[in-house]
Chains A and B, each alone.
Chain A
Amino acid sequence: MIELLLNGLFVGALYSLFGLGLAVTFGLMQQINLAHGDMIVLSAYLAWLATQALGINPLFSLPFVALLMFAFGYALQRVVLNRTIGRGPMPTLLVTFGLSIVLQNMMQIGFSADTRSLQPGSIGSAALPLGSFSIGVMPLFFFLFACLAFACTWLVFAKTSFGRAVRATSDDHRTARLMGIETGHIFSLALAISLSVSAIAAIFLGMRSTFAPAAGPERMLFAFEAVILGGLGSIWGTFFGGLALGLAQAIGLAIAPTFGPLAGHLVFLAVLLFRPAGMFARRNGL
């Protein structure tokens, strides 16, 4: 049973990471990026390219992928998405929806429909014996790294003037501009950070399982659930939202294997019913 729950937590940490980038765009910038899942898949392909070209372990491709996605995110927000600010949620929704389709098809053309995976090397099968059972070294490492990624993101958005500027812009971009905040630049940086932290999720996903051009929307579902479970606007909420999802699935799996994914969705539904704002939603701040 402990083995099951630990594995649930490890899967949950991955869901949290899927949600982390979305927690920034959806929760803090109040801008729904429907192409988030596809951008995770794109990052996974970039990591794959890097490992193929340089022959390195996928973990070491992280700086390279994060940097590229940072640039991509900045340009995307600056050139495209900033034009939708202040016109309600609909234009962003439509633009990112279209972007999702374009990205999927471009990846299909560029990388074919083959499922691909990042070779984890010897860490992939390494096990840590714990009495009667053993846990994987790789998932444990992912879990710890996820904690670190959340802590860094939280620090950036909660404790710096840049973070305050992002929140001010999403609350009222006109007043923010009057206060001397360069809203266009600030939002572009925020999306850039969102996409570069998503690169972590992408690499872990690729090392754990496989990805294909059409795999994005499925990741998107877990990302959304983690963000909403945790509560909009709360970075740590997303972390615990993802863990709750993973644990619920593990408990569901123990009851019956078909019940696993459903159990996660049921917990999500229950939280929506009884705490519509999410488990850790706070009215002000992170």
Chain B
Amino acid sequence: MTNKLPGSSLISRRTLLGSAAIGAAGVAASSSFPMPALAQSAKLKVGYISPVTGLFATFAEADPFLLKQIRTALNDGIVNNGKRYEVDIIDVDDQTNPDRSTSATQQLINSDEVNIVLAQGALGIKNVSAQCEFAGVPSITTMDPWQGWLFPQGGTPETGFQYANHFFWGIEDIISTYVGMWSSLETNKKIGSCFTNDPPGQTFFSDTIGFPPALRDAGFEMVDVGLFEPGSNDFSRQIAAFRDSGCDIMTGLFDPPDWVVFWRQAMQAGFKPKVVTVAKALLFPAGVQSLGIEANGMSTEVWWTPSYPFRSSITGQSCAELASAYEAETGKRWTQPIGVVHALLEAGINALRTADDPTDPDSVADAIKNMTLDTVVGTLDWANSPIKSVAKMAIAGGQWHVDPNGNFDLDVVYNKEMPDVPVTAPFQMKIGA
């Protein structure tokens, strides 16, 4: 029952909007009544599902801005094979709840009859993909390392899926970036690591594709006392182990709140690593702001920054223009998901633009499979990808610089995997004030 409630409210809202629109059209142009009916047949619908509220809300914080921008840019519709189509983007909040992702997808497919489903958010997208694959509706998802999306659904790199598609980086990219960053510095090569006990953390810690074998090969020694539960309040056990074995490097996968707990405890317990490179927790300015000056010099992976030298295929904006438009409109700092979500919308719209028949699901699915598109995060290439249904995004390495006044900036310090992106500062071994 709880699943149906939000659905029904959506219907009523949309029915209301729909009838209002028809009413307005009737009043405005009652003499040419058949015309709106004709226009309606040339309308394409895009469903967009994201965690606007709930635990992953930070990943969707820029969504209202991005959707508004795209809607404005698509005001005149898109042209496919010389025919003009109106594009209607229907956005749904899945509240970071996978059950809602499922019901939202069903709703979009069955009631709204969308032509393509786009979705982001590590928790819900697998459900979205599964529903779309089942119903035969093309979809593109993002915001989860591809291994975590492909394998749990029973996919293989050789076959992929028919309708479900994904783009993001993979665990191998983050490993090579981190190892590359650490190898450039003079340390005792002892690494303390802490990964969450959830699917991403288990992948990071995997003895086949994760950090342990890669670090052994690169000549690093890894100190790890085991996975931790997300939401832990006490890391004294891990910190004591790292401190007592004299680790110079600290790494791991943390949610932002856990990382603040970890770091404050580490300082109290006298654990002072020289290099701190942490995934996820340091992605967002808010995560850095929580630590203030103590976050100075911490490093992380970079998916997108305003210094990326690419342009949007929809709005034509450069990355710097995209970021400053966001900052001007919302008064908030840019965040990395802005680039990724914008690229997701670019890929979805491009599929509709390039499909032989954008109203035919198979034709749109083929368009995604054959797509090579330059987006704000770089080139997304499904056509030549060795992993079927997955386009890989490259990542760079970044370091936060915080000054005593609390101003902070993410500089790109490592770009071996992403040579197009300029390095904006050297990688330094200094943590804190």
Contacts and interface: CB of A to CB of B under 8 A. Distances in A.
B317 interface: no
A8 interface: yes
Interface in A98-131: 105, 108, 112-117, 119-120, 124-127, 129
B35 interface: no
Contacts of B54: 214
A116 B58 CA distance: 12
Interface stretch (B37-45, B163-171, B265-273, B339-347): B265-273
Nearest to A207: B264
Given A127-B268, A134-B269, A249-B233, A112 B240 contact: no
Nearest to B53: A108
A256 B226 contact: yes
A119 B260 CA distance: 11
Nearest to A264: B233
A134 B57 CA distance: 37
Contacts of B240: 3-4, 133
Contacts of A137: 268
Contacts of B257: 115, 209-212, 215
Contact of B237 (A116, A124, A214, A257): A257
Contact of A14 (B227, B233, B286): B233
Interface stretch (B3-11, B133-141, B290-298): B290-298
A152 interface: no
Contacts of B236: 3-4, 7, 250, 253
Contact of B256 (A108, A115, A133): A115
A4 B237 contact: yes
B237 A113 contact: no
Contact of A125 (B225, B228, B294): B294
Contacts of A129: 270
A138 B260 CA distance: 14
Contacts of B256: 115, 210
A228 B61 CA distance: 38
B292 A260 contact: no
Contacts of A214: 53-55, 57
Contacts of B269: 3, 127, 133-136
A137 B227 CA distance: 28
Contacts of A8: 234
Given A135-B268, A136-B265, A258-B226, A113 B61 contact: yes
Q: Which of B53, B55, B226, B290 has the most CB of A within 10 A?
A: B290
B148 interface: no
Range of interface residues on chain A? 35 or more
Contacts of B61: 112-114
A114 B289 CA distance: 10
A139 interface: yes
Given A117-B260, A117-B291, A261 B231 contact: yes
A117 B238 CA distance: 23
A97 to B, nearest CB: 13
Interface string B269-305: 1100000000000001011011110100000000000
A168 interface: no
B264 A250 contact: no
B188 interface: no
B199 to A, nearest CB: 14
B261 interface: yes
A11 B58 contact: no
Nearest to B59: A113
A143 to B, nearest CB: 13
A257 B286 contact: no
Nearest to B268: A136
A208 interface: yes
Contacts of A257: 225-229, 232, 237-238
A210 to B, nearest CB: 4
A282 to B, nearest CB: 29
A270 interface: no
A134 B265 CA distance: 11
Interface string B230-254: 0111101110100000000000000
A214 B267 CA distance: 27
Contacts of A250: 234, 236-237
Given A115-B287, A256-B225, A260-B228, 15 more contacts: A113-B61, A114-B61, A114-B286, A115-B286, A124-B267, A125-B268, A127-B269, A135-B268, A136-B268, A209-B264, A212-B57, A212-B257, A250-B236, A258-B197, A258-B226
23 contacts: A3-B269, A4-B240, A11-B234, A14-B233, A108-B57, A113-B61, A114-B58, A114-B284, A115-B257, A115-B290, A127-B269, A134-B269, A136-B268, A138-B264, A209-B258, A210-B256, A212-B57, A214-B57, A218-B231, A256-B226, A257-B229, A257-B237, A261-B229
Q: Which 8 A-B pairs have the closest CB atoms?
A: A136-B268, A113-B57, A117-B290, A125-B267, A114-B286, A7-B236, A210-B257, A209-B261
